[in-house]
Amino acid sequence: MRIYIVRHGETNANNKAYLQGWSDDPLNENGRMLAELTGQGMKGICFDYCISSPLQRAKETAEIILKESGNKASVTFDDRLKEINFGSFEMKSIRDENIVRFLKKPVADKGFPDGESIKDVMGRTQEFLKELIAKDDDKTYLVSTHACALRAMLNFLYDDPDDYWHGHVPYNCCVNIIDVKDGEAALIADDKIYYDQSLAIDRYDL
């Protein structure tokens, strides 16, 4: 069994360095290009299933990757793959002092008013991934999600779970690959990008 987990392409909120959370903006032109390049780089991979967050940017990324890679799998949705809900901090700048504090120590942060905490997101995303791993069905999956949700989901597979961001916030359209054998999961590719490195932008000072 192999699972490819991708972060969505760029949005206008990403470009402006705003927290997006459950705000449902689509990809921008650059985001669609990154998804196209990623899909083209994944030609030859046959996806049996595709599961996405229902938010537009993740859904559109999955659809573009499937098309550009020559796959005809349909996209299904799971709410557990949604980004963290930033509550009243949705669409605020990442330079806000409360958000800077969250980014520095996300797991210790109590969460956002009317939103979620990292522990909430780790609970739902890891439940999803562990259910998928338990299938161990010799199939290939594409999973489309979000930056914070991706890190939360993979946290238990990292060598250092205390380093929540795993060095940095994942780039748009980066791909993490998990192999599952006899019920055991191993992360075999870490934030792989299928486009030129110069297009990978890290807007976060961690």
Q: What is the pLDDT of residue 76?
A: 98
Q: What is the pLDDT of residue 204?
A: 85
DSSP single-letter state for residue 9? -
Q: What is the pTM of this model?
A: 0.96
CATH number, span 2-199: 3.40.50.1240
Cβ 142 vs Cβ 115: under 8 Å: no
Q: What is the pLDDT of residue 161?
A: 94
Burial letters 81-94, b for 16+ CB under 10 A, else e: bbbbbbeebbeeeb
Q: What is the pLDDT of residue 120?
A: 97
Residue by residue, pLDDT tens for the chain (206 residues) are: 999 999 999 999 999 999 999 999 999 999 999 999 999 999 999 999 999 999 999 999 999 999 999 999 999 999 999 999 999 999 999 999 889 999 999 999 888 989 999 999 999 999 999 999 999 999 999 999 999 999 999 999 999 999 999 999 999 999 999 999 999 999 999 999 999 999 999 888 76
